[in-house]
């Protein structure tokens, strides 16, 4: 076995993590990415990446942010805190200030009426100085066709960072 199981802290509890789940690549559109970067420049702390579905990590050490068309690059990295799913209104009340949405109305426009949402909480967000291009990302993780997010192991994480 290449890696031993890793123990990580998630929401104040120690969880055992599979080595192949060291990091997770989240998909963001350019508008959402720009709002996230703007928020990062104005405040620090814990952030929430909002998803309309449950395609999100349950446990990981790191998160990568892949910005889809027209950018098509791995643009950022952060430390995973936790994944929270549930009622969209309740999640907004609890974690809305961590999101990149400025108002509840902006959030509602994003949710498109969905009752259940997912908030991926993270901290120590950094924009990569040298983003990974589509060609580089494909050579590391394979095809991006139909890509909706993916776990990667420690070795792949190192390749995406360097």
Domain ranges in the chain?
A: 6-141
CB 5 within 8 A of CB 19: yes
Q: Return the exposure string of 124-161: e unless at least 16 CB atoms fall within 10 Å of the residue's CB, then b.
A: ebeeeeebbeeeebeebbeeeeeeebbbbbbebbebbe
Residue 146's pLDDT is what?
A: 67
Model confidence over 110-132: pLDDT tens digits? Answer: 999 999 999 999 999 999 999 98
Provide the CATH topology of domain 6-141: 2.30.130
pLDDT at 45 over 50: yes
CB 70 within 8 A of CB 52: no
pLDDT at 144 over 80: no
């Amino acid at each position: 076995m290449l890696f031993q199981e890793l123990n990580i802290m998630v929401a104040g509890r120690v969880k055992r993590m599979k080595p192949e789940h060291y990091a997770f690549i989240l998909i963001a559109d350019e508008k959402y990415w720009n709002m996230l970067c703007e928020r990062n420049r104005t405040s620090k702390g814990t952030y929430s990446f909002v998803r309309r579905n449950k395609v999100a990590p349950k446990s990981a050490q790191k998160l990568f942010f892949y910005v889809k068309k027209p950018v098509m690059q791995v643009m950022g990295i952060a430390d995973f805190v936790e994944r929270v799913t549930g009622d969209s209104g309740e999640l907004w009340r609890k974690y809305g200030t961590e999101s990149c949405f400025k108002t509840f109305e902006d959030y509602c426009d994003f949710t498109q009426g969905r009752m259940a949402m997912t908030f991926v909480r993270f901290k120590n967000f950094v924009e990569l100085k040298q983003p990974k291009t589509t060609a580089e990302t494909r050579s590391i993780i394979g095809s991006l066709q139909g890509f909706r997010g993916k776990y990667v192991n420690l070795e792949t994480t190192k390749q995406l960072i360097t």
